[in-house]
């Protein structure tokens, strides 16, 4: 299990975490900051210059998950992780990766009043012999107060919140330990998609609206937008997998078997294993159908009907290329059906 302590910079996460490992039996302190520090020595300066925060590096997010899994395999017990996460998609990617390894996460937010937070920032002296460096750290913390405010809506809906305005680090740790013990700090409901160990077969379904835009969904368990669909189960036909996934993800029952548009091979690119990809035409949804779409909160964060131009920005290159082939195949099919006098659409 992981107890993830979130909060603004200078909220007291690290101090509370250091106290907490004495209150939770068989627990270990794990600071992902060390991974960021290591990457500064491992990555070329050109790569580091692309970001202002190491959390924006995909390799950092991947290593946070891999290192946590390795530590728990070696030590078992509980990892206590003090780390600010303000971007929901990064939380989803990291917690989703942990869930895929069957590692539950208890998410806790330390939330002092802003006046107290600012006072703590002003008093930070990270490097006594380097005042300029200390000032840069204080400035960084001040600059992230506004992003912290903006992130509070999703963090507070996900995490157990503790007001630490009047608490010492030890008292804060006591509150966290009690919340974990009683279950007030519940396990995060990130879908536990199994981590692939070999090539997979997956089916996606394109669903169109009355303006001929198509539906994309925003999964909580991995970064980036995606087509509705998922992995084909053993013994399951790819089209049936698409029907099942659309029903599970969106609450929509397709009335007919979707038409195959594209069969594609996705080459393995570590850490992904790649595999065979099917993309089907699920037909056109009426405005009434679209209004009935449902989202399981643990699996999808949102959905949108988009144009091809919008999808070019939202989808990874390989997924967008698959989409382009599918749209061209659909256009050809529509032309052929019209020439044959066959009605088109659902």
In order of 3, 12, 159, 191, 305, the CA distances from 187 in angstroms are: 9, 22, 9, 11, 32
Q: Which helix (H) or strand (E) holds 37?
A: helix 33-42
Dihedrals φ, ψ of 72, to 5°? -70, -30
pLDDT in tens, the chain (346 residues): 999 999 988 888 999 999 999 999 999 999 999 999 999 999 999 999 988 889 999 899 989 999 999 999 898 899 999 999 998 888 888 988 888 778 899 999 999 898 888 888 887 776 667 777 778 878 878 888 888 888 998 899 889 999 999 999 999 999 999 999 999 998 887 654 555 566 789 999 999 998 999 999 887 766 678 899 988 888 889 999 999 988 888 888 888 899 999 999 888 776 667 789 999 999 998 888 887 787 655 667 788 899 999 999 898 888 899 999 999 998 887 655 555 555 555 4
Q: Mapping DSSP to helix (H, G, I), strand (E, B) and coil, where does residue 31 land?
A: coil
Q: What is the largest CA-CA distance in the chain?
A: 82
Confirm if 44 and 148 have CB atoms less than 8 A apart: no
Q: Which residues are registered as beta bridge partners of 27? A: 78
DSSP per-residue letters across 231-264: EPPTT--HHHHHHHHHHHHH----SSPPEEEEEE
In order of 22, 29, 169, 186, the CA distances from 105 in angstroms are: 19, 15, 21, 8
């Amino acid at each position: 299990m992981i107890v993830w302590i979130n909060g603004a910079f200078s909220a007291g996460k690290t101090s509370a975490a250091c106290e907490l490992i004495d209150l939770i039996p068989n627990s270990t302190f794990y600071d992902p900051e060390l991974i960021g520090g290591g990457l500064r020595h491992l990555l070329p300066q050109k790569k580091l210059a692309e970001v202002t925060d190491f959390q924006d590096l995909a390799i950092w997010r991947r290593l946070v998950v891999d290192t946590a899994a390795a530590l728990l395999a070696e030590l078992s017990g509980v990892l206590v992780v003090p780390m600010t996460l303000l971007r929901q998609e990064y939380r989803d990617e990291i917690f989703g990766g942990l869930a895929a390894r069957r590692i539950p996460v208890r998410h806790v937010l330390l939330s002092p009043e802003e006046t107290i937070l600012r006072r703590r920032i002003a008093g930070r002296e990270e490097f006594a012999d380097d005042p300029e460096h200390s000032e840069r750290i204080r400035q960084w913390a001040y600059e992230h107060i506004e992003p912290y405010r903006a992130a509070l809506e999703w963090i507070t809906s996900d995490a157990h919140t503790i007001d630490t305005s009047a608490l010492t680090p030890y008292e804060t740790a006591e509150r966290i330990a009690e919340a974990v013990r009683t279950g007030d700090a519940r396990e995060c409901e990130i879908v536990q998609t199994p981590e692939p160990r070999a090539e997979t077969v997956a089916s996606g379904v394109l669903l169109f609206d009355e303006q001929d835009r198509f539906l994309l969904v925003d999964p909580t368990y991995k970064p980036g937008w995606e087509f509705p669909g998922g992995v084909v189960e053993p013994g399951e036909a790819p089209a049936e997998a698409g029907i099942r996934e659309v029903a599970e993800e969106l609450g929509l029952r397709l009335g007919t078997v979707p038409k195959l548009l594209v069969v594609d091979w996705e080459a393995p690119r570590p850490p992904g294993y790649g595999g065979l990809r099917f993309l089907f035409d699920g037909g056109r949804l009426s405005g009434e159908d679209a209004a009935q779409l449902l989202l399981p909160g643990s699996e999808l964060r949102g959905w949108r009907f988009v144009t091809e131009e919008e999808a070019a920005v939202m989808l990874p290159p390989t997924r967008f290329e698959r989409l382009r082939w599918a749209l061209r195949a659909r256009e050809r099919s529509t032309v052929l059906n019209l020439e044959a006098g066959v009605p088109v659409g659902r």
